């Protein structure tokens, strides 16, 4: 099993530089098995290790995979410009270990957002060839007509696209339509609705692949870790 010194372990989990981590350890802020450990030089088996820092419990994770119920008015950027950044909703450790959004939601779009520090995972979910479906619930300015559903399903032409784009579309309410996309074009849902003759006034992402926001039980602004079983749900559509 992998082993590392305690200062390197804390650094890998986003507690700061090695100097900062050594200071935490020497100050008695770190507990393992309920006992304070003040020697940063000791080597520890890291797999599944449970520990505490300043009384807060943590478990060692080589990579983190997170789901967040994103509220409106939040930018999916590590360097936000006009609104609060999404990483402000998470513990500081995740920023320090380079966690980033898996794809983006517009600042006014709400719902399921994934974040990770695993570059291969991010690439696999965002690469255009993977075609991981994403499900949205759009609220429209005008009632959802049969012709709107037909246009979305047969394909609408966007100004900068070489061919019409199609979506799976279902009416959910008089002014709500569920839209499933396998592409990830800029403002795609909003632009497709406009091209099909309506206008999007609110947009909420409910699922990525087979992973649904409802099954996670997250209130707006809340986040959780995704375990191996939850990660499998992302590919349940395959």
Residue-level pLDDT at 235: 83
* Residue 226 to residue 111: CA distance in whole angstroms: 16
Q: pLDDT tens, 105-162?
A: 999 999 999 999 999 999 988 876 777 899 999 999 999 999 999 999 999 999 888 8
The pLDDT of residue 24 is 97
Tell me which residue of 198, 214, 210 sits closest to 237, measured CA to CA: 210
Phi, psi at 132, each rounded to 5°: -75, 120
Q: What is the pLDDT of residues 18-35, one digit of tens each?
A: 999 999 999 999 999 999
pLDDT of residue 1: 63
Average pLDDT over the chain, rounded to whole? Answer: 93
Q: Which residues contact 219 (CB under 8 A, 6 or more apart)?
A: 69
Specify the pTM. 0.92
Strand order in the sheet with 50-53: 35-36, 30-32, 50-53, 56-59
Say whether pLDDT at 11 is over 80.
yes
- Mean pLDDT, to the nearest integer, of 50-65? 96
Q: Is the per-residue pLDDT at 92 higher than 80?
A: yes
- Per-residue pLDDT at 229: 93
Quick one: pLDDT at residue 201?
Answer: 97
Q: What pLDDT does 194 receive?
A: 93
Cα 225 off chain centre by: 10
Cβ(169)–Cβ(188) below 8 Å: no
% of the chain surpassing 70 pLDDT: 98
The catalytically annotated residue of 54, 92, 106, 173 is 106
User: Can you tell me the mean pLDDT for 55-64?
Assistant: 95
At 206, the pLDDT band (50, 70, 90 cuts) reads: very high
Facing residues of 178 across strands?
Answer: 137, 170
The distance of Cα 184 from the centroid of its chain, to the nearest Å, equals 15
Rounded to an integer, the average pLDDT of 182-202 is 91
Q: Tell me if residue 106 is catalytic.
A: yes
All domains in the chain, ordered by first residue: 3-59 (3.10.290.10), 65-127+215-233 (3.30.70.580), 133-208 (3.30.70.1560)
- Write down the pLDDT at residue 83: 81
Structure confidence at residue 237 (pLDDT)? 60
- The answer to whether residues 177 and 170 touch, using CB atoms and an 8 Å cutoff, is yes
In which band, very low, low, confident or very high, does the pLDDT at 80 lie, cut at 50, 70 and 90? confident
Work out the average pLDDT over 46-55.
94
Q: What is the mean pLDDT of the segment spanning 200-205?
A: 97
């Amino acid at each position: 099993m992998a082993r590392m010194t305690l200062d390197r372990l804390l650094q890998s989990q986003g507690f700061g530089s090695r100097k900062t981590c050594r200071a935490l350890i020497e100050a008695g802020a770190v507990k393992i098995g309920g006992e304070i450990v003040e020697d940063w030089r000791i080597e520890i088996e890291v797999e599944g290790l449970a520990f505490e820092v300043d009384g807060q419990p943590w478990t060692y994770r080589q990579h983190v995979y997170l789901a967040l119920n994103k509220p409106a008015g939040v930018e999916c950027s590590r360097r936000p410009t006009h609104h609060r950044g999404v990483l402000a909703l998470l513990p500081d450790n995740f920023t320090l270990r380079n966690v980033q959004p898996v794809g983006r939601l517009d600042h006014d779009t709400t719902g399921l957002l994934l974040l990770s520090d695993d570059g291969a995972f991010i690439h696999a979910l965002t690469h255009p060839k993977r075609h991981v479906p994403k499900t949205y619930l759009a609220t429209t300015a005008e009632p959802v007509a049969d012709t709107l559903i037909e246009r979305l399903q047969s394909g609408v032409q966007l100004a900068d696209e070489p061919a019409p784009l199609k979506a799976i579309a279902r009416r959910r309410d008089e002014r709500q339509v569920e839209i499933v996309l396998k592409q990830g074009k800029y403002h795609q849902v909003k632009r497709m609705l406009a091209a099909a003759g309506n206008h999007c006034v609110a947009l909420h992402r409910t699922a990525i692949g087979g992973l649904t926001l409802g099954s996670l039980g997250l209130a707006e602004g809340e986040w959780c870790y995704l375990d191996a079983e939850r990660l499998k749900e992302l590919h349940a559509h395959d």
